[in-house]
């Protein structure tokens, strides 16, 4: 049975001085694919951009470019979607696939029988370089003739067990080698690590950007704005196509992951990136809400968020769903 979610991603920039021009590239529109359908989507921007263009990027992700040309001390963006997530095949959780060396050989052959996008995702990228120490570490999972998906599952489990989740340990610019050395990081770091390990062995892996459903503690209400963006990995297997692995949560994505898009690494699908003229210093606040659609009416929830005060708050969101 499918699941339907409301996802609201709010980004608020506060500038130390007026900005006369800002231009941004957005990857905030959920991508449609075999296991996901977007039922509703809208992006609200304040102040309103004078130019806005939507397009599909190189990897097939929906994207939007905006330009705000009036002076502004604050930029607020709310991306709101209703998404239906469809179940993956149950067999994926236990599938083995062909021996991983055979898949690597197929990708390396010239000409290769593997799809072009799989060949592309077997190459290194700026944030997923090929490191010999990572390759040697990964070989403990990819033993000779081991089935590809079984080995990937074992690698996912090792990352979850050997690396500690620590939001203070890294930033978006932390090199992969440092993550590997310190054994700490966040979902972006763990996804980059798993991708680098797979590609170092000649395999194809995608960086998957999106959201994951979180669960409040027993007896506590589900709060608006307390979720976050998430990242995981998909591995190409000739028998199954692209199969997902979430090393942060030690699970294979199914009904609780919502996808925005995929790329070689985080830089390809950054939710919001751009340039500004002026502004001096700036602060950014991001709040994400992902909830089962039956809990709240979409328009009511969105209206509630629009009314949220824009002054800086010292505590977390206080809007509850129950």
Parse the chain into domains and list their residue ranges: 3-86+270-306, 90-269
Query: Which pLDDT score is estimated for 224?
Result: 67
**Helix H segments across the chain?**
100-108, 116-120, 132-138, 148-162, 176-182, 187-200, 298-306
90-269 topology per CATH: C8orf32 fold (3.10.620)
β partners of residue 26: 64, 272
Query: Which pLDDT score is estimated for 322?
Result: 28
Please report, in tens digits, the pLDDT of each residue of the chain (322 residues total).
Answer: 999 999 999 999 999 999 999 999 999 999 999 999 999 999 999 999 999 999 999 999 999 999 999 999 999 999 999 999 999 998 888 899 999 999 999 999 999 989 999 999 999 999 999 999 999 999 999 999 999 999 999 999 999 999 999 999 888 889 999 999 999 999 999 999 999 999 999 999 999 999 999 988 777 776 666 688 999 999 999 999 999 999 999 999 999 999 999 999 999 999 999 999 998 888 999 999 999 999 999 999 899 888 876 654 333 333 333 2
Q: What is the pTM of this model?
A: 0.92
Nearest alpha-carbon partner for 60 in 261, 273, 222: 261
Alpha-carbon distance 277 to 284, whole Å?
A: 16
Nearest alpha-carbon partner for 185 in 157, 205, 160, 212: 160
β partners of residue 3: 85
CB 14 within 8 A of CB 282: yes
Alpha-carbon distance 161 to 250, whole Å?
A: 9
Asked if the peptide bond before residue 111 counts as cis, ω within 30 degrees of 0, the response is yes
What DSSP designation does 227 have? B
Give CA 129 to chain center in angstroms.
Answer: 19
**What percent helix, strand, coil does the chain show, rounded to 5?**
25, 40, 40
Domains 3-86+270-306 and 90-269 belong to one CATH topology: no
Query: Which pLDDT score is estimated for 311?
Result: 54
Phi then psi dihedrals of residue 84, to 5 deg = -100, 125
The radius of gyration of the chain from alpha carbons, rounded to an integer in Å, stands at 20
Alpha-carbon distance 204 to 30, whole Å?
A: 23
Alpha-carbon distance 188 to 186, whole Å?
A: 6
What is the second-level CATH architecture of the domain 3-86+270-306?
Sandwich (2.60)
Q: In the structure encoding, which two tokens stand for residue 134, read together?
A: 């990572």
- C-alpha torsion 19→20→23→29, nearest 10: 60
Nearest alpha-carbon partner for 288 in 79, 15, 143, 134: 79
């Amino acid at each position: 049975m499918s699941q339907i979610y409301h996802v609201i991603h709010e980004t608020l920039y506060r500038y130390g001085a007026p900005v006369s021009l800002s231009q941004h590239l957005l990857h905030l529109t959920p991508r449609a694919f075999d296991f996901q359908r977007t039922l509703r989507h809208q992006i609200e921007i304040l102040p309103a951009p004078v130019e806005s263009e939507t397009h599909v990027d190189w990897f097939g992700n929906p994207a939007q470019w905006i330009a705000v040309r009036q002076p502004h001390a604050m930029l607020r963006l709310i991306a709101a979607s209703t998404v239906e997530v469809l179940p993956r095949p149950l067999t994926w959780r236990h599938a083995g696939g062909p021996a991983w060396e055979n898949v690597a050989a197929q990708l390396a052959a010239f000409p290769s029988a593997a799809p072009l996008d799989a060949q592309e995702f077997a190459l290194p990228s700026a944030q997923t370089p090929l490191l010999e120490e990572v390759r040697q570490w990964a070989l403990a999972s990819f033993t000779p003739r081991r089935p590809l998906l079984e080995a990937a599952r074992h690698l996912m489990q090792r990352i979850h067990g050997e690396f500690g989740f620590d939001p203070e340990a890294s930033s978006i610019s932390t090199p992969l080698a440092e993550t590997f050395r310190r054994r700490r990081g966040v979902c972006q770091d763990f996804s980059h690590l798993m991708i680098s390990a797979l590609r170092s062995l000649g395999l194809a892996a995608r960086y998957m950007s999106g959201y994951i459903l979180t669960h409040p503690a027993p007896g506590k209400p589900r709060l608006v704005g307390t979720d976050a963006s998430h990242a995981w990995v998909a591995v190409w297997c000739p028998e199954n196509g692209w199969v997902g692995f979430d090393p942060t949560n030690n699970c294979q994505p199914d009904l609780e992951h919502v996808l925005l898009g995929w790329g070689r690494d985080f830089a390809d699908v950054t939710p919001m990136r751009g340039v500004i003229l002026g502004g001096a210093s700036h602060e950014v606040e991001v709040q994400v809400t992902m909830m089962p659609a039956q809990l709240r009416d979409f328009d009511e929830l969105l209206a509630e968020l629009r009314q949220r005060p824009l002054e800086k708050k010292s505590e977390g969101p206080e809007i509850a769903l129950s």
